Amino acid sequence: MTKIATWNVNSLSVRLPQVIDWLATHPVDALCLQELKLTDDKFPHQALSDVGYHSAVFGQKTYNGVAILSRTVLNDVSKNITGFADEQSRVISATMTSEHGNVRIVNGYFVNGQEPGSEKFAYKLKWLDGLNAMLKSELQAHAKLVLLGDFNITADDRDTYDPEGLRETIHHTTVERDHFKALMALGMTDAFRMFEQPEKSFSWWDYREFGFRRNRGLRIDHILVSEALKSRVTGCVIDKTPRKNERPSDHTPVIVDIA
DNA sequence: ATGACGGTGTGGCACCGA
């Protein structure tokens, strides 16, 4: 069994103790992090190595920053989207060795986009096009591939607490969902939806207005698996428990099991 | 229509996230 997880930690400096606690109870083979909000030189390699993880890191000051933690050595690490000039540290890819042979991991902190029609929204769509192009070539090189992270997109109306009220707002627009579908069209499957799931399953809740307590959330953290892995996927769950911690991240981990 | 909460960097707040 190989377990791979994703978690937007919203500052690794603040959340490191929670990450280490979580790994103790959920000793996944790989954990992909987003929103490190720290530079490479501040990354806690030693603390994570002490609990058995190698790390590949692409950090940035204040914003963004992504990393892959793995029990086995990570090879062929690449940063950002090939062929897409980006000032922001949003993607890190690496190959992990597993019982299934090599598995390519593409870990992304997708652009938020702020508001449809804004410059940031235009950047989000261009970024998604760039990622799509990169994924196409990654899939040609690596049949067994996982694309995961904070997508900042709800895949459909099941992924939001208020489908009608939030229709065509950020994370909910048709054009964002079309870009999500375009990634799936490359041969990727949303692992979470391969299985029956509780209604109103979310991976993010606003800090404000008791968002978590009222389950006013979104499912925007996703794990997509390639065709070659799909038949081996035996489960995919959201672990809400870290959202109950003191000083939690606003996101919570998602885990996929590959038999 | 706005802000609400939390993180960062810097500064007595502004900016950003989703």
Q: Where are the domains of chain A?
A: 2-258
Question: Over the stretch A90-108, which tens digit does the pLDDT of each residue have?
Answer: 999 999 998 878 999 999 9
Q: Considering only residues 100-119 of protein chain A, which place a Cβ less than 7 A from any atom of strand B?
A: 112, 114-115
Those nucleotides of strand B lying less than 7 Å from any protein Cβ are 3-9, 16-18
- Decide: CB of A170 under 7 A of nucleic strand B: yes
Polymer length in residues for chain A: 259
HEC states along A137-196? HHHHHCCCEEEEEECCCCCCHHHECCCCCCCCCCCCCHHHHHHHHHHHCCCEEEHHHHCC
CA distance A144 to A228: 5
- Decide: CB of A221 under 7 A of nucleic strand B: no
Indicate the CATH number of A2-258 among 1.50.10.10, 3.60.10.10, 3.40.50.300, 3.40.50.2000.
3.60.10.10
Question: Over the stretch A123-157, which tens digit does the pLDDT of each residue have?
Answer: 999 999 999 999 999 999 999 999 999 999 999 99
Q: Annotated catalytic sites of A, by residue?
A: 109, 150
Find where tokens 């995919």 sit: A236
C-alpha atoms less than 13 angstroms from C-alpha of A8 in its C-beta half-sphere: 25
Question: Over the stretch A174-218, which tens digit does the pLDDT of each residue have?
Answer: 999 999 999 999 999 999 999 999 999 999 999 999 999 999 999
